[in-house]
Structure 1
């Protein structure tokens, strides 16, 4: 008696009867796929797609059962209905074992084992170490192939393909909801989604059947001079191992620690220096301890007259350029510390007036203007902090301005 099915279109596409065996379906696909492959038969794209779709459904016992009972309407979503599912060229390459049958045509499926995922670790590095270079030791935990069973999970021959999901790791649950049929793909409950089963009596004691064990390894991370935050150091093939999979890489991502005195922008360093008023006017020496412990003696010349907020530059005293011989620059922003109120007598102030440049004359007021005498008062710390909340942005603007115009930027300040 002929097998009763809801629809026959997929069987007709492969030119087989609904009661055809798995072997008959496989032979039919082989014959027709070779005949209608686009590389051999240009213009047969639609026919080739229909053949591929039919084979993808009918070669899967669960999909075939659904199709026989409900037709194409039952093959929806993850079941691969509506001419969806695997790409026809990928299915062809998988069936025939690789690179196409017609001299490089189609889209061959990549050969060889899959590659595992990369594992990233963040490594915090001080600015001093980025300036001088350093080798750090980093302990990482990774999975390695179990040596007790050579990655089999049990004794040789004890690992079998899961009989419920046939090694796919997933099962399809069909639910009848009134006139509708709902199909849900889920991890196979029999094998927990791995596609294999191991007799508990022969399971590896070392890895408990997991095929891998945890291992700690020490990596030597070589930090080159001038490396920047966000740069990566790659240890190829050092990530987790799994049977049949090429290990990925361990990727170390540099994260620069904040420095108490220097800020880095590219290969340049930014430093804020506080000097007193007498040094700003009469000159002196500023000491800056560099990142390699050298002390820079910065000479401020007498009469140079450093202004509050003025920026100067030390050529070649910035960060080393990574893998180049160049050095960045160091930009110094001067904050001038003024004396406290009422710091001297009127007599001493008169002496200052005799030394300092003359006062700028006060412009004469027009006749008839009403004047009012007012008194300055200090701003409390709370309001001062609020007004200075954008100080970092202003600092960045100062740096950018200096970088664009070079060390002569101070000439623009009055």
Structure 2
């Protein structure tokens, strides 16, 4: 019993489908939905990507096992290799650069030597490691040429070119539609699109005729100081292997983890510091633990007066600049914590040390004056009052719209 059937449904096969059935379903769908054949149909392009991703997962025994047991979430956390571009997968089946030029006679640009798929991984790194630099050991699964048969799939001389398709894996079929004859290509039923035929008794026992086996590889990923979020680290030739093509690459994309104390923007760091009212007015010190475990003692001069939301800077204490020797800045935004009501004593002393009160507007001598006391706000009542006020405001605005006219809202830029 599989946890999810989404990928099987995309290919139109049951969860019990064999490798040959998966391959046949992919080839049929890829030919039908390829973007070159549906130039003005974005839905077909999206379907083509979905087909390619589903086949890329289900054709890999390890990924398929993870998917059957844990679904897509299991693939994300199971370390079972990376993804392959839809066009790269198409090119492996049909040749060329992934388009239809070679298949239907059109001119196709020279793409150079064929290359196996590129394995993509997201490498999540915390801010401390980006600040100090780090070497990570990351394991991945990749396909390598089977040593038992040297990538032939069977005994020497046992692999025969399919005579039904002349080794291409595809057959050209013709179908009469009224007075016209339609010519189209389909997957060769004799070899299931392989282009080769190997008798079961001659298949390699190590790879079962697949020509490649899955191998675990450990790579040392150097995370340089100040590396940017989204930056890619490439290992050329360390990806999948296939007979007759160049080995693929492995690409790690850096994903910076959120940090509980610092926010990063380019080479600058931002820190939120909470101070009391006394420190904001009379000065004092705050201590900040930096990303390399140093402690920064920040002095606030007496009388400097730190207002709520004020931002100050310590130059040169931000992130290291990638592959340079300078640093960004550390910006500190202050949150001034005011005392609670029960903490206030000797309020009359404040009159002596603080500036005089702001002069308030005064009512005329003959004005009607009423005294009120302020109260704390109940959150739910306040939210309802704001919502009611907004609704009334909209009703008033609607009064300016002529009958039968349609109100148009400006789009955000």
Shorter chain as denominator, the TM-score bin is: 0.5 to 0.7
- After TM superposition, list the pairs within 5 Å mapping 1:266-305 onto structure 2: 266-305=266-305
Tell me if 1:261 matches 2:269.
no
Residue in 2 that maps onto 1:30:
none
**1:245 aligned counterpart, secondary structure:** coil
- After TM superposition, list the pairs within 5 Å mapping 1:2-401 onto structure 2: 85-87=105-107, 109=110, 113-345=113-345, 348-365=346-363, 369-380=367-378
TM-score (norm 2): 0.64
Structure 1 unaligned segments of length 5 or more: list them. 1-77, 91-106, 388-414
Structure 2 unaligned segments of length 5 or more: list them. 1-99, 386-413
**1:131 aligned counterpart, secondary structure:** helix
Structure 1 residues 165 and 369, CA gap change in structure 2 (3 angstroms): farther
TM-score (norm 1): 0.64
Q: Report Cα offsets for 1:31-61 as digits up to 9, x if no partner.
A: xxxxxxxxxxxxxxxxxxxxxxxxxxxxxxx
Residue 368 of structure 1 deviates from its aligned partner by 5.4
Distance 2:153 2:380 in 1: 67
Distance 1:333 1:80 in 2: 61
Residue 167 of structure 1 deviates from its aligned partner by 1.1
**2:343 aligned counterpart, secondary structure:** coil
Q: Report Cα offsets for 1:197-216 as digits up to 9, x if no partner.
A: 11222111111111100001
Q: Report Cα offsets for 1:237-266 as digits up to 9, x if no partner.
A: 111100111112100000001100100000
Structure 1 residues 242 and 349, CA gap change in structure 2 (3 angstroms): same
Structure 1 residues 114 and 382, CA gap change in structure 2 (3 angstroms): farther
Q: Report Cα offsets for 1:176-234 as digits up to 9, x if no partner.
A: 44444444422212112121111222111111111100001000001000011101110
Structure 1 residues 275 and 239, CA gap change in structure 2 (3 angstroms): same
Residue 127 of structure 1 deviates from its aligned partner by 0.2
Structure 1 residues 306 and 385, CA gap change in structure 2 (3 angstroms): farther
Distance 1:207 1:152 in 2: 10
**1:226 aligned counterpart, secondary structure:** coil
Distance 1:218 1:384 in 2: 58
Structure 1 residues 186 and 384, CA gap change in structure 2 (3 angstroms): farther
Residue 86 of structure 1 deviates from its aligned partner by 3.1
CA RMSD of aligned residues (A): 2.6
Structure 1 residues 245 and 374, CA gap change in structure 2 (3 angstroms): farther
Structure 1 residues 237 and 375, CA gap change in structure 2 (3 angstroms): same
Residue 271 of structure 1 deviates from its aligned partner by 0.5
Distance 1:329 1:219 in 2: 34
Structure 1 residues 170 and 355, CA gap change in structure 2 (3 angstroms): same
Residue 174 of structure 1 deviates from its aligned partner by 3.0
Residue 110 of structure 1 deviates from its aligned partner by 5.9
Q: Report Cα offsets for 1:365-413 as digits up to 9, x if no partner.
A: 45655544443332345689999xxxxxxxxxxxxxxxxxxxxxxxxxx
Q: Report Cα offsets for 1:145-179 as digits up to 9, x if no partner.
A: 00011111111111111110111111233334444
Distance 1:259 1:308 in 2: 23
Distance 2:320 2:381 in 1: 41
Distance 1:250 1:207 in 2: 23
